[in-house]
Amino acid sequence: MVDDEKRNDILKRLSDGVVYYDEEKVIVASNEAVEDGLDPFDAIMNGLAAGMEIVGQLYEKQEYFVPEILMCADALYGGLNILRPHLKAKEMKEAVKGQVVIGVVQGDVHDIGKNLVKMMFDVAGFTVHDLGADVPLEKFAEEQVRTDSNIIALSAMMTTTMMGMKKVIHMIKERNPDVAIMVGGAPLTKEVADIFGADGYAENAGNAVQEAIKMISRLREMHAKQQLGATP
């Protein structure tokens, strides 16, 4: 077991390693977490994800830009690949049991924002069905039905392609109004997301990360409520 001091030390190094895109530091701290028996879920959420949250804030403040975020993401995956295999069944249960279908809409091949959001879902323990880029609109609805996913995340990087989103949202909501839909990409604004009928919105790579975290915690609350409701 690890004492508080050791735990805090490892978490800080994980977080710092992500923030300062120091993949080596993250790898060393992750291996140490495993060896010392630190709860891997704790290490992921309060180390790696906490670091990524800071990265999102630095982006908002225009201290970081997209190249920096991409390097931070590499560092984060360096740790995630080590820690995730050690998650036990019990911890997996504590993680949100969720599935997400994610992809870039037809006509658009820009997948950076999509990959960053995917990363946050990976971190949170979601099962991610990544459809890639240039995805035909019907495919999102089909994949949602096939997998019974509770979130659909759509991305478009160009004004000329974001119109596809409106159609997808309509298609999915018609069949299953409870699915949470998140949209993101450079041409989108909050108002456009509302017009499209989306539940969540991320304007850019940095706040896609934050929005994903928010959306996950909303789902976690919903999940908790459902569990309470199910208790006799």
Cβ-contact 121, 179 below 8 angstroms: no
Binding status of residue 160 toward another protein by CB under 8 A: yes
Distance (Å, rounded) from C-alpha 229 to C-alpha 115? 35
Environment class of 220 (CB within 10 Å of its CB; exposed 0-12, middle 13-18, buried 19+):
middle
Cβ-contact 43, 33 below 8 angstroms: yes
Cβ-contact 104, 94 below 8 angstroms: no
Binding status of residue 81 toward another protein by CB under 8 A: no
By beta-carbon proximity to another protein, the closer residue of 22 and 111 is 111
Burial string for 127-164 (b: 16+ CB within 10 Å, else e) reads ebbbbebebebebbbebbeeeebbbbbbbbbeeebbeb
Binding status of residue 115 toward another protein by CB under 8 A: yes
Dihedral pair phi/psi, residue 197, rounded to 5°: 85, 25
Q: How many residues does the chain have?
A: 232
Binding status of residue 106 toward another protein by CB under 8 A: yes
Question: What is the closest distance, in whole angstroms, from the C-beta atom of residue 181 to another protein in the complex?
Answer: 18
For another protein, the binding residues in 15-54 under the rule CB under 8 A are none
Binding status of residue 197 toward another protein by CB under 8 A: no
For residue 85, how far is the Cα from the chain centroid? 18
Stretch near another protein under the rule CB under 8 A, chosen from 37-45, 100-108, 120-128, 172-180: 100-108
Binding status of residue 110 toward another protein by CB under 8 A: yes
By beta-carbon proximity to another protein, the closer residue of 108 and 130 is 108
Question: What is the closest distance, in whole angstroms, from the C-beta atom of residue 143 to another protein in the complex?
Answer: 18
By beta-carbon proximity to another protein, the closer residue of 81 and 127 is 81
Footprint of another protein (CB under 8 A)? 62, 65-68, 70-71, 74, 106-112, 115, 133-134, 158-164, 186-187, 189, 191-192, 195, 204-205
